[in-house]
Amino acid sequence: MGVALVTGPTAGIGREIAVELSLQGHDLILVSRDRVRLEELATELGNAEVLPADLSDRDQLAAVEQVAGDVDWLVNNAGYGINASFLDSEIDDEQALLDVLVTAVMRLSHAALPGMVAKGRGRILNVSSVAGWVPFGTYSAAKAWVTVFSEGLAAQTPAGIHVTALCPGFTRTEFHERAAMDVGGPGWMWLNAGEVARQGLRDCERGTVLSIPSMRYRAVSMVAQHAPRSLLRSVSKRRGEDG
């Protein structure tokens, strides 16, 4: 076993990933803005250290990059959404979103890879979303970047290093509550965070580049990827008009 660095591990998919890696015997480095919840999780797991950091702050991100250079697993999970259209949002909020969802993923991956290459083994799991295949604003655009970045990285890295984009659909976590998003929908739409986390880790371990949990979201992803872009834009427009 080795060392795993997990960003955004205090709730939802990130927490489940951290728990699973701990059960597998990895030592963990847990990164989040919330020191109290980090320390609670570290105490629960027993084999973790905490590194409080706001990944939208370049100086704090640099501190995380320094420790990322010697890890065996890197899980880029930290993220959140903005409950406002681009026209109504604050530009600083949009920039912070991209800093966390895009810049941190890029810089931490760049920091971790040399050590993995030197050891001849490593795993990078980037938590993306099926939203990356539909034009639903900045969040979707950021997740599209994460997915394509992961695919490109997987094509460039040598044997022994696996890079996976985990692309779940709606998953029961604190994500929507934190963003003040009122998301309904039938029960079939919703995935279990633990099952998503375990599939993502399994797929990364065996070298699957795109991990899409559940048959229903694999079907949704196929439709979204092959549907006319004009149709997807029309759906996005109606969604915005419905609030």
Q: Are 7 and 63 in contact (CB under 8 A)?
A: no
Q: Which residues are catalytic?
A: 139
At 233 the three-state DSSP class reads: helix
Tokens, residue 184: 């309904």
Q: Are strands 122-127 and 161-166 parallel, antiparallel or unpaired?
A: parallel
Q: Give the sheet arrangement for strand 122-127, strand by strand.
A: 48-52, 27-32, 3-7, 73-76, 122-127, 161-166, 210-211
Beta strands in 148-211, from DSSP E residues, in sequence order: 161-166, 210-211
Note the residue count of the chain: 243
Rounded to 10 degrees, the C-alpha dihedral 222/223/226/229 comes to -140
